[in-house]
């Protein structure tokens, strides 16, 4: 990335522009010699290496290093705590949404199996009742607890194929979302 101060404002570019606003009659400006670009104020934009508790602020020209870069500020302990709380809240929302979606897909599959006759109404009701504790955890975004409850239930009522598929799905979600 590169930057240039144009009319008092620092602008960031992915590369030298084909048309430079201070030289609008020059086509293929990007093809000109790099010395022209340098003379017109284009410099490298150096991204600072940030620690977890830091963030970039305003961009500026560092005349000692002849590059554009950013000032760095450190978050306060209160800001760090607030960010962690927000991140955890966002993770819970995602897990809750994913859990509800997973369970609704499973319910749709069961309902179609019941309607097609693959599942008897009695077996359908038994599966629904058996999986209620798992569902309650899933729709609340608690994948680890849902998996534990499913492991306790086992495959006797819901069948090995469904059990294995459900365990695999929960394991994948846990790896991704925790």
Over pLDDT 90: what percentage of the chain?
80
Q: 68 pLDDT band (50/70/90 cuts)?
A: very high
Kindly tell me if the per-residue pLDDT of 97 is higher than 90. yes
Of 86, 88, 95, 110, nearest to 145 by C-alpha is: 95
Kindly tell me if the per-residue pLDDT of 52 is higher than 90. no
Q: 95 pLDDT band (50/70/90 cuts)?
A: very high
Coil, helix or strand at residue 111: helix
**Do 33 and 44 contact (CB within 8 A), yes or no?**
no
Residue reference for tokens 């450190």: 74
Kindly tell me if the per-residue pLDDT of 11 is higher than 90. yes
pLDDT given at position 138? 92
Contacts 24+ apart (CB under 8 A), 87-92: 91/177, 91/178, 92/141
Mean pLDDT value across residues 54-83: 96
Residue reference for tokens 């003379």: 39
Mean pLDDT value across residues 28-37: 95
pLDDT given at position 13? 97
Can you tell me the distance from the alpha carbon of 149 to that of 97, in angstroms, rounded to the nearest whole number?
A: 19
Coil, helix or strand at residue 7: coil
Kindly tell me if the per-residue pLDDT of 75 is higher than 90. yes
Give the DSSP letter of residue 178. Answer: -
Q: Provide the residue ranges of all domains of the chain, joining segments of one domain with +.
A: 2-74, 78-177
Considering all CA atoms of the chain, what is the largest pairwise distance in Å, rounded to the nearest integer? 81
Task: Provide the edge-to-edge strand list for the sheet that holds 9-13.
Answer: 9-13, 2-6, 43-44
Residue 59 tokens read as 């961009």
For the purposes of burial, counting CB atoms within 10 Å of the CB of 7, is it exposed (0-12), middle (13-18) or buried (19 or more)?
Answer: exposed
Kindly tell me if the per-residue pLDDT of 82 is higher than 90. yes
pLDDT given at position 17? 94
Cα-Cα-Cα-Cα torsion 101, 102, 106, 107, nearest 10 degrees, comes to: -40
* pTM summary value: 0.58
Give tens-digit pLDDT for 117-161.
988 999 999 998 999 999 999 999 999 999 999 999 999 988 898
Mean pLDDT value across residues 54-79: 96
Can you tell me the distance from the alpha carbon of 48 to that of 51, in angstroms, rounded to the nearest whole number?
A: 10
Kindly tell me if the per-residue pLDDT of 103 is higher than 90. no
Kindly tell me if the per-residue pLDDT of 6 is higher than 90. yes
Of 95, 102, 114, nearest to 165 by C-alpha is: 102
């Amino acid at each position: 990335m590169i930057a240039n101060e144009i009319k008092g404002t620092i602008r960031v570019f992915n590369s030298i522009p084909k048309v430079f606003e201070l030289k609008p009659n020059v086509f293929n400006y990007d093809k000109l010699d790099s010395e022209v670009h340098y003379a017109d104020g284009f410099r490298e934009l150096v991204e600072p290496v940030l620690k977890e508790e830091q963030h970039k602020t305003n961009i500026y020209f560092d005349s000692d290093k002849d590059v554009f870069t950013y000032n760095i500020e450190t978050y306060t302990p209160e800001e760090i705590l607030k960010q962690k709380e927000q991140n955890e809240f966002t993770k819970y929302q995602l897990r809750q949404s994913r859990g509800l979606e997973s369970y609704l897909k499973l319910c749709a599959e069961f309902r179609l199996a019941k309607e097609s006759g693959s599942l008897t109404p009695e077996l359908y009701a038994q599966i629904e009742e058996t999986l209620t504790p798992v569902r309650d955890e899933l729709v609340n975004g608690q994948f680890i607890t849902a998996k534990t409850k499913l492991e306790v239930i086992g495959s006797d009522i819901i069948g090995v194929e469904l059990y294995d598929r459900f365990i695999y799905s929960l394991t994948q979600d846990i790896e991704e979302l925790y």
